[in-house]
Structures are given as C-alpha cells and as structure tokens.
C-alpha cells in the first residue's frame, strides 16, 4: 500500500498535548458511575459483516480544525469522541475524511483485549485486523512519553488511539481504551471519549467469543454510521 500524501503544514502546532492526562481525559474517565456490567448492555441485532473496504481518495490538510466531534453510532449505543486536531492534525483529518466517505459504516469492532491492556479495536471493514484504506503511512503524532514506574499509565481510560503495524503506518484502525492501560509510546493519541465509555466497558465485561483475554468481542459491535461535526 502506498503512503498517505497528506499536505505538510506550514505552521505545525506543537504536538505535546496530553503528555499528562488532560482535563477532557479525566472527565471521560469519570463519565460513568459504578462498574458497568454485561447485563446492563442493550444492543440491537446487526447485519454488519466483514467486507472489502470502500475505496477512497487521499485526504489533505487545508487548515487545522482544533476539535472535531465524531459520533460512532453503534448497535449498542452512541460513542462520542472529541478529536484533538491541534495535537494530531494529520490523524484527525484522515479519520474525519474516512468517516465522511462512509468508510466506517456497517463495520465491526473486531478485537477486544481484557488483560494486560484494555482496549476495543475497530476501523477495519474486513474485520480481520489486517484491512484498511487503499493507502496508509501517515506519520505518528502526539505520542506519550516513555512510561515510568512513577507514571506507568500513558493511555488512560477514555483515550482513543491509532493501531498500527510499526512506526508511521497509520491507516484506519483505532482502539478505544476502557481502563487505564500502559503501552509503549508508539500509538497516536487523537481523541477522548466524552460519551459512551460505559458502553465500551460493558462490552468488555462480556469478554471474547473464546473466553480468552484477546479476541473477537462476544457481543457483536457494529459501527452503523459515523457523523462528524
């Protein structure tokens, strides 16, 4: 796959935001009361299945949009993400572009991890973990500092970050962090969940189809459509 030809910015905004947990992330982490349970989750049946990706053009940055509000309408309820265009302009531009092209519509969240790291991964229309748009390769942004013994958590609950296959290989796959997670500082943090973190936690409470700590979510999670404003 060829790399993304996103137009370089002439005046880049410093990409050091979220070096510590931002106020928005703190709010996201406290957005639910009590411990969500699997039985509290109400999901609609879905006909979404893995399918070939929609072919899309290559996004370009014309200007920095400080904050997008991206709403994932899923069969289990709405998950609202505040995307930080100042901290991750290339990533948020690409994600908003894909959403507006219908790239994420009727796609499945294909991976849930419940031990060691705590994430729900989405954004692959094929639902195999290997799919993405017909381009990839835009650079990593807003990476956290190396975790330390004093500050081991760099991907707190509520953070939304890009999945990748190595440095500067970003495409469309992203993960929703539902509990404080420590990871190598290799994954672009581009937004925070401001509504629906309880939904992700309840999905996680149901576990995987195999009962193991990493695999397909037992509760089928379909992104029916995505809106951007």
Q: What is the pLDDT of residues 90-143, one digit of tens each?
A: 999 999 999 999 999 999 999 999 999 999 999 999 999 999 999 989 999 999
List residues bridging with 73 in a β-sheet: 78, 225
Sign of the dihedral through C-alpha 5, 80, 186, 24:
positive
Is the separation of the CB atoms in 77 and 199 below 8 Å?
yes
For the chain, the structural domain boundaries read: 67-228
pTM (2 d.p.): 0.85
Three-class SS of residue 71?
A: strand
- Cβ contacts of residue 165 below 8 Å, gap of 6+? none
Identify the pLDDT of residue 38.
Answer: 63
Indicate the pLDDT class of residue 65, thresholds 50, 70 and 90.
confident
Place of tokens 């500082």: 185
Indicate the pLDDT class of residue 39, thresholds 50, 70 and 90.
low
Identify the pLDDT of residue 29.
Answer: 42
The pLDDT tens digits for 170-225 are 999 999 999 999 999 999 999 999 999 999 999 999 999 999 999 999 999 999 99
Is the separation of the CB atoms in 202 and 180 below 8 Å?
no
pLDDT averaged over every residue in the chain:
86
Return the CATH superfamily for domain 67-228: Cyclophilin-like (2.40.100.10)
Nearest to 113 by CA among 218, 215, 223, 220: 215
Give the number of residues written for the chain.
229
């Amino acid at each position: 796959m060829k790399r993304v030809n996103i137009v370089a910015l002439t005046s880049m905004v410093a990409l050091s935001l979220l070096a510590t947990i931002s106020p928005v992330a703190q709010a996201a982490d406290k957005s639910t009361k009590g411990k969500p349970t699997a039985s509290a989750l109400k999901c609609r049946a879905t006909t979404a299945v893995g399918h070939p990706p929609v072919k899309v053009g290559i996004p370009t940055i014309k200007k920095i949009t400080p904050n997008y509000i991206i709403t994932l309408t899923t069969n289990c309820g709405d998950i609202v993400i505040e995307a930080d265009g100042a901290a991750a302009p290339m990533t948020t531009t690409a994600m908003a572009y894909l959403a507006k092209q219908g790239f994420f519509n009727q796609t499945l969240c294909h991976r849930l991890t419940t031990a060691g790291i705590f994430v729900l991964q989405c954004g692959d229309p094929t639902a195999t973990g290997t799919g993405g748009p017909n381009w990839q390769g835009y650079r990593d942004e807003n990476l956290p500092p190396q975790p330390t013994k004093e500050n081991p958590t760099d991907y707190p609950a509520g953070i939304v970050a890009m999945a990748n296959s190595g440095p500067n290989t970003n495409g469309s796959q992203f993960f929703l962090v539902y509990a404080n997670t420590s990871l190598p500082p290799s994954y672009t943090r581009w937004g925070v969940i401001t509504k629906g973190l309880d939904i992700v936690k309840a999905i996680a409470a149901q576990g995987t189809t195999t009962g193991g700590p990493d695999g397909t979510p037992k509760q089928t999670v379909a992104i029916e459509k995505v809106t951007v404003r």
